[in-house]
Chains A and B, each alone.
Chain A
Amino acid sequence: MPPQIKQDLNRSGWESTDFPSVCENCLPTNPYVKMLKEDYGAECKLCTRPFTVFSWSGEGRSHGRKKRTNICLTCARLKNACQCCIMDLQFGLPIVIRDKALELIAPGPQSEINREYFAQNNERAIEEGRAGVEEYEKTDEKARELLRRLAQSKPYFRKGREFDEEGNPVHGSPSSSGSALGGNAAVGAGVGGPGPIRSRDSRAAAAVGARPGGGRKGPLGTNAPPPGPKDWLPPADQTLMSLFVTGIEDDLPEYKIRDHFKAFGKIKSLVVSHMTHCAFVNYEMREAAERAAAECKGRAVIAGCPLRVRWSQPKAIGTMDKEERSRMLRDGRSAFSGAKRATGQQKTIEGGNVQAGQTSTSSQELADLTVAPPPGGDDVQYASLAGN
């Protein structure tokens, strides 16, 4: 034990302990751990007060490097974290994530002296059994709440009703209204794989809280024709190796688009602007670009997001005004509005047992439609986001 210096007012917050509070992962497998203890060896990384530092050599994994405690015992108790790796003791989460997601305790003051004061007060409270414990009694409840909330969550941005892969609107039946009206959560997070395709729809948008008819049928509305051969036939200019993709939603990450388009050949660069809802895929070889255009047939679905693909000369896409941006978003959907009409038409025609050439070709196009491959094993699957 070091000499007690509690009498010294300036050093009253200095902590001397006999044993660290460390999680299982930080300790070596051998239960006989040799630790070095140094009183007031360093300042706590959270409250900046001196504390007793323990260090030991983590075996194997750390390759001869020493592990040591980084935060003082008071802070560790207050945050319910490991002194070494600063991870939550219950779920093994980083404490930042736990505190934000479970909304357990406020992060505390930011300035140095306030932090010290905060820690001092809490230390006293813990000694008297007033604080530090009760918040974490609620962890279970909060964890359940979080799971429930995410299970019936709506996407974080406004979006419309989804369409299935044939372009038929998925009707939210009253029984399954919970998920259907809010838009499929899988689609919302962009992790749902192929699955339903979203579309703007005034009814569905109204269901998720949008104003009805909010600028959807304007002069720039969805009067872009459905993709035709001119969209995917290779242009005469042989130096052109870029495809222009529109309709990118805010939650569609860049790497998913890359994964989809790199199947056709090596990508030189992929420029995605989420703000303007469009992207450029620049291939290294002309053949790859031609293959991609031919396979896509003017449209693609990535993580439920309908996209329109066409040839274009590369240009700056980050500089668009508001009108143009919303046009880009609607443009992606226009690729599928045509498909929807075609299938609807085909249904009626099939009823009458007539085969029109035009409809059969468009249904053929739909069959050829390239859809992003289902997410692989490395893709995190949130059970709550898998629908229902």
Chain B
Amino acid sequence: MFDHTTAPFRLNPGYRLQYEEAQQCQVLLYPEGLVKLSDTAAEILGRCLEPITRERLIAELQRDYPDADSLSDDVREFLNDARRQDWIVAAED
């Protein structure tokens, strides 16, 4: 069982992240379903298309959004959820 708090991860390759004109938001597509994403969720997952570590992801977001409060806690919580739902999986290697 991989641990996303230490090992690199990426968006589940079976999932597809895209902007939907009809819904006016980013969505995550998976076999037989779809979830609408908040802007924040889409921003995070959009940075997981290539393997990345949690630490690096948080650092990147803090660099790009220096004014966001409690960013690292929010990202950690989101990633825990994303891991549970298999949105992110272990990056190979």
Asked if A pairs with B, the answer is no
Interface residues, chain B, with chain A CB atoms under 8 Å away: none
Interface residues, chain A, with chain B CB atoms under 8 Å away: none
